[in-house]
Structure 1
Amino acid sequence: MMKVTFLRSGLLDMPIDPQVKLILEQMEAKGAPPWHTLTPAEARQPIDRRPLTGEPEEVGKVENRTIPGPAGEMPVRIYTPDGQGPFPALVYYHGGGWVIGDLDAVEITCRLLANRANSVVVSVDYRLAPEHKFPAAVEDAYAAVKWLVENGSSILVDSARVAVGGDSAGATLAAVVALMAKDRDEPSLVYQMLIYPVTHHAYDTESYRENAEGYYLTKDSMVWFWNHYLRDEEDGRNPYASPLLADNLSGLPPALVITAEFDPLRDEGEAYAKRLKAAGVPVEVTLYNGMIHGFFGMPGVLEQAKKAIEQAANALKRTFSI
Structure 2
Amino acid sequence: MTSIETGSAEINDVDPAIREFHRIMNSDYARNSVGFDGGAVARRHIAEQVRAPWRAGGPAMAGVEETKTPSGVGLRIYTPHNVKPGKILLYMHGGGWVMFSLDTHDRLMREYAHRSGVVVVGVDYALSPEEIYPRALDDICSAYEWIAGGGLGASVEAPSIILGGDSAGANLAIATAMRLRDEGRRTPDGLLLNYGAFDTQERPSHMHYDGDNYMLTRAEMAAFWRDYLGGESPEGCVYARPLRLDGAGLPPTFMCIAECDILRDENCEMAALLRKAGVDVEEHVYAGATHSFLEAVSISSIAEKAFDDAAAWLKKTM
TM-score, with normalisation over the residues of structure 1? 0.88
Q: Which residue of 2 aligns with 1:22?
A: 20
The answer to whether the 8 A contact 2:28-2:50 is kept is no
Amino acid across the alignment from 1:41: V
Q: Which residue of 2 aligns with 1:316?
A: 314
The answer to whether the 8 A contact 1:256-1:312 is kept is yes
CA distance, structure 2, for counterparts of residue 155 and residue 316 of structure 1: 22
**Matches of residues 263-302 of structure 1 in structure 2 within 5 Å?**
263-302=261-300
CA RMSD of aligned residues (A): 2.2
In structure 2, relative to structure 1, the CA distance for the partners of 1:14 and 1:182 (3 Å cut) is same
**Matches of residues 200-239 of structure 1 in structure 2 within 5 Å?**
200-203=199-202, 205-214=203-212, 215-235=214-234, 238-239=237-238
Q: Does residue 1:192 correspond to 2:162, yes or no?
A: no
In structure 2, relative to structure 1, the CA distance for the partners of 1:84 and 1:13 (3 Å cut) is closer
Q: Which residue of 1 aligns with 2:63?
A: 61
The answer to whether the 8 A contact 1:53-1:298 is kept is no
Q: Which residue of 1 aligns with 2:259?
A: 261
Q: CA deviation at 1:82?
A: 2.7
Deviations 1:206-228 (Å, cap 9, x if unpaired)? 11010121211111111111111
> What percent of counterpart residues are identical?
34
Amino acid across the alignment from 2:139: D
Q: Which residue of 1 aligns with 2:44?
A: 44
Q: Which residue of 2 aligns with 1:4?
A: none
In structure 2, the gaps of 5 or more residues are: 1-7
Amino acid across the alignment from 1:100: M
Identify which range, 249-258 or 50-59, moves more after superposition: 50-59
Q: Does residue 1:159 correspond to 2:158, yes or no?
A: yes
Q: Does residue 1:305 correspond to 2:303, yes or no?
A: yes
In structure 2, relative to structure 1, the CA distance for the partners of 1:199 and 1:92 (3 Å cut) is same
Amino acid across the alignment from 1:291: A
TM-score, with normalisation over the residues of structure 2? 0.89
The answer to whether the 8 A contact 2:84-2:119 is kept is no
The answer to whether the 8 A contact 2:163-2:188 is kept is yes
Give the length in aligned residue pairs. Answer: 304
In structure 2, relative to structure 1, the CA distance for the partners of 1:22 and 1:236 (3 Å cut) is farther
Amino acid across the alignment from 2:191: Q
Identify which range, 287-296 or 46-55, moves more after superposition: 46-55
CA distance, structure 1, for counterparts of residue 317 and residue 230 of structure 2: 37
Q: Secondary structure at the match of 1:275?
A: helix
Q: Secondary structure at the match of 1:133?
A: coil
In structure 1, the gaps of 5 or more residues are: 1-7
